Structure 1
Amino acid sequence: MPCNHSSAAPPYAALNPGSGAKWQKNLTRDRISQFNGGHFNDVNLGAVLYSRKEDSTDYVELQVWSAPNGSKPLFDEAIKQEFKPAKKGDSFGPSWTNHWWKVTLHVPPKEFDQYERVTFEFDPGCEAMIFDVDGTPLQGITGGYGGDRRVEYIIPAAARKAGVHHIIIESSCNGMFGQQNGGISPPDPNRYFSLDTADIVVPNQDAWRLLWDFQTLRELVDTLPGNTPLQNLALTAANEIMNVFNHRDLSSINRARAVAEKVFGTDWDTEKVYENEGAPRSLVWGIGHCHIDTAWLWPYRVTQQKTARSWSTQLDLMERYPEHRFACSQAQQYKWLEQQYPTFVWRYLCGTPVLDSECNNLVLTISRVGTQ
């Protein structure tokens, strides 16, 4: 039977005169790593994270006393010693030694009242703890430029109103994991650290909120299974944020944040996220936990310091975020804290005991219950 070719479809066009676009997912995924820091820091989000920085002696006065022979004096002893002037760039060591700082911060209201937040950025390259002038631990510091870097101290509103603020800092010449530069190799007994920053810093809070929006989107892209609807939505939103943002136009920050709401919804970064809109009771609780090995990659005395740093930081977070809860283990550490840091705010705490599955230690779930 003969074929009838008259009804055949027209031949495929050799050329496409119209323009088009094809989504190259790997390119858009690689692109989002360029939004903060790196080679393009002068034009990406990193260019607007800070509104102002001051480090001159008109704003920051530093004095230091180095404890002799690797000793670990407590606050009452250290504060009586003779301190000498210090400055950024000074070097301190060797490993495991402790150095105490008297810090005076000048924040004239006429210069700083306009800002939502003013912080003191203190980075000794190692771990440290900030005290008030009465010896109460306020928060821990983790120096250096790793992923665990925490070097910001929020200057209280009362201090900004007064125009001057005094704090005491104990810096300890060890890192988060002792003296290791990686793994659990033998500790380096001769490490030295330098004071990299001691600055009054004004963060652009809207820019930082956008940073955390974007970081959350990146984590969704990196951790969700490939080519799932939510991963693709997070990736396209992150790229759209980069298109909307303009470092010369600060109003673009909030427009970019509105893009993130396509993924997160509205009010996702407020306390409203804890309002139960579904089941009549919560089925899952997420509680922060601090398991500090009492003896691992550092001496016992460093464990004592790490405990005070970690737990005082949690109390600071509870002060700012009342919904925050925190669990910690090792009863011996409670004892050390009671003995060595007597002004620590135990009267603010309540505890619910549970069992630490790793070491069969008592764990207390901590919540802030009030102030006096």
Structure 2
Amino acid sequence: MDLAVFEPDVFELALDLEVLIELQAELPETSPRRMRILQALDDALDALDLQHIVETASDARAQLADVLASPADASAHRIAAIGHAHIDSAWLWPVRETIRKVARTTSSMATLIDEQPDFLYGMSSAQQYAWIKEHRPEVFARVRDAVAAGRFLPLGGMWVESDTVMPTGESLVRQFSHGQRFFEREFGIRSKGVWLPDSFGYSPRCRS
């Protein structure tokens, strides 16, 4: 086992440098944006004292702030990153293990939400929320507070992540009916999108 002191500024600086080095490599060589990034990287490394990295990491990061915040072209897409843990409600383990996994994951994510002001987490399947409410009410209370704050996002509106090939239309309607009513009753919200990351196929009714 290796032990080390975690220095947040140094860690964040390493990430900033990695992002910008990879970004400039994808831009055309004559791109003004690429030139600005290269200049900012040069300025950041000038500000970084290799004999005192911890003390000067924040100064180096300051040199990169503008190019990191600079948007792409006006027509470019905006991308948002939201945390998610795909947990099968019924897989090769007993239901009691699913309940434990859901409780551990949501507890960890609630802690990350408390510690990281920009972190968002999304979880689907009203059934999994219902398990937390029944078996770990103290965790569910934290989830409810995070949902109210817009940080913990109920996804999909279905009772479980459903297959859409074999079930009938009535079955899918019931998935949404029960799922959305749970989210509305517990959190006062309705999901606005379908969430099917592991459906093993999409029926015509889901593409229409």
Q: State the TM-score, normalized to the length of structure 1.
A: 0.32
Quick one: which of 301, 304, 310 aligns to 2:105?
A: 310
Within a 5 Å distance, the mapping from 1:51-90 to structure 2 comes to none
What does the per-residue CA deviation read over 1:255-307, in whole Å, with 9 as the maximum and x for residues that have no partner? 32232124135xx9xxxxxxxxxxxxxxx784625242324576544433332
Are 1:319 and 2:114 an aligned pair?
Answer: yes
Partner SS for 2:156: strand
The count of residues paired between Structure 1 and Structure 2 equals 153
**In structure 2, distance between residues paired with 1:220 and 1:299:** 45
Alignment partner, residue 331 of structure 1: 126
Whole-angstrom CA distance in 2 between matches of 1:205 and 1:344: 28
Distance 1:343 1:327, change over 3 A: same
User: CA deviation digits over 1:220-248, x for unaligned, max 9?
Assistant: 346x4554443454355345534543331
Tell me, in whole angstroms, the C-alpha distance in 2 between the residues paired with 1:238 and 1:285.
Answer: 24
Q: Is the alpha carbon distance of 1:232 and 1:336 closer, same or farther for their aligned partners in structure 2, counting shifts above 3 Å?
A: farther
Equivalent of 1:348 in 139, 145, 160: 145
Structure 2 residue corresponding to 1:288, chosen from 60, 82, 97: 82
2:57 aligns with one of 253, 262, 281: 253
1:209 partner amino acid: E
**2:199 aligned residue:** none
User: Alpha-carbon deviations, 1:62-109, whole Å to 9, x = none?
Assistant: xxxxxxxxxxxxxxxxxxxxxxxxxxxxxxxxxxxxxxxxxxxxxxxx
Question: Retained in 1: the 8 A contact 2:124–2:155?
Answer: no
Tell me, which stretches of 5 or more residues in structure 1 are unaligned? 1-195, 269-283, 368-372
Structure 1 counterpart of 2:138, which letter?
T
CA separation of 1:313 and 1:236: change in aligned 2, threshold 3 A: farther
Q: CA RMSD in A?
A: 4.3
Hey, which of these two has a bigger chunk of strand by percent? 1
**Range moving further from structure 2, 306-315 or 291-300:** 291-300
Report which of the two has the higher share of helix. 2
Q: Report the 3-state secondary structure (helix = DSSP H, G, I; strand = E; otherwise coil) of the residue aligned with 2:122.
A: strand
Which one has the largest radius of gyration? 1
Q: Deviations over 1:18-66 (max 9, x none)?
A: xxxxxxxxxxxxxxxxxxxxxxxxxxxxxxxxxxxxxxxxxxxxxxxxx
Matched residue type, 2:112: L
**Residue equivalent to 1:144:** none
Residue pair 2:47, 2:60 contacting (<8 A) in 1 also:
yes
Q: CA offset at residue 354 of structure 1?
A: 5.4
SS in 2 for 1:328: strand
Inter-partner Cα distance in structure 2 for 1:221 and 1:295: 44
Q: Pick closer, same or farther for the CA change 1:244–1:322 going to 2, 3 Å.
A: closer
Quick one: distance in 2 between partners of 1:245 and 1:297?
51
Alignment of 1:1-372 (within 5 A): 196=1, 202-221=5-24, 224-227=26-29, 228-238=31-41, 240-242=43-45, 244-250=47-53, 251-264=55-68, 286=80, 288-290=82-84, 291-296=86-91, 300-322=95-117, 324-346=119-141, 348-350=145-147, 355=156, 359=162, 362=179
Where does residue 167 of structure 2 map in the other structure? none
Matched-pair contact (CA < 8 Å) for 2:132–2:140: no
SS in structure 2 of the partner of residue 206 of structure 1: helix
Sort the Cα spacing of 1:318 and 1:353 in 2 relative to 1 into closer, same or farther, 3 A: closer
Higher relative contact order (CA 8 A, sep 6+): 1
Structure 2: distance between partners of 1:262 and 1:300: 49
Gaps of at least 5 residues in structure 2 are 71-77, 163-171, 188-208
Q: Distance in 2 between matches of 1:234 and 1:221?
A: 7
2: CA distance, partners of 1:248 / 1:328: 44
